[in-house]
Amino acid sequence: MHAPTLHSDVVVRHVAALREVPGLKGADIIIVPESNSGFDSQIYCLALQKSEITRVFVMDEDTKHVGIRSTNSSKKRMAILMSLALQNKMVKFHPLMVCTAEEFTAEDMRNLIIQQLSDFKCKMKMQKARGEDDGEPRWVEIYSGKFGGRKDDHAMGMMINYIGHVVYIQKYDEIYRDKKPLY
């Protein structure tokens, strides 16, 4: 099985587990996939349709693929906004946080997310200008938590979902009110 299929299984398990949280049985669930991964986000949507889980909506803000596109500048904004949201207690970990990973408890996952968020930093990196073979290398800001072999997938997921929530609320009347669920 290739990675997008394995990841879509995780997405389906996670959404199904959310339905078991008290108060979420019939609630709207909005997924906010990162669209930078090519067709992976479409694979997630197809898996959710096949699973027949009702009232799952997808946030679609990209012109090429389903989801939200993260760029270096958007990562910078997301990192700043997430930091402020956490400091001002606008975002909290739910006491019944869903964790479908067999090797982690919900508390382990919470600690992993906190670690990845704290690893998410701005670094300066020497980079050749794109499209210019003879271009002078220049210093660029890179926002990531992947430095030193670390992963930042959970931090990115949390930041994208927070930004997705903000954008969804802002554009609800204009775009999302009449959008059909995946199933």
* The predicted structure's pLDDT at residue 21: 92
Domain boundaries, the chain: 3-114+152-176
Q: Tens digit of pLDDT for each residue in 137-168? A: 888 888 888 877 788 989 999 999 999 888 99
Please tell me the distance from the alpha carbon of residue 117 to that of residue 105, in angstroms, as a whole number: 18
Residue whose tokens read 């997630």:
44
DSSP label of 70:
-
CB atoms within 10 A of CB 27: 11
Is it the case that residue 116 has pLDDT exceeding 60? yes
Instruction: List beta partners, residue 53.
Output: none
* pTM (predicted TM-score): 0.81
Identify which of 2, 167, 182, 154 has the alpha carbon closest to the alpha carbon of residue 69: 167
pLDDT one-digit tens code per residue, 80-110 = 899 899 899 998 888 888 888 888 898 999 9
Q: Where are the alpha helices (DSSP H) in 97-152?
A: 106-119
Alpha-carbon span 141 to 92, nearest angstrom: 29
Residue 38 phi, psi dihedral angles, 5° rounding: 65, -125
**Is 18 in contact with 96 (CB distance < 8 Å)?**
no
Res 180: pLDDT: 94
Q: Is 94 exposed, middle or buried (0-12, 13-18, 19+ CB in 10 A)?
A: exposed
pLDDT value at residue 32: 92
Among all chains, which residue has been given the structure tokens 């199933």? 183
- Three-state DSSP state, 175: helix
Condensed to tens digits (0 to 9), the pLDDT of residues 27-52 reads 999 999 988 877 888 999 999 999 99
110: tokens are: 């919470």
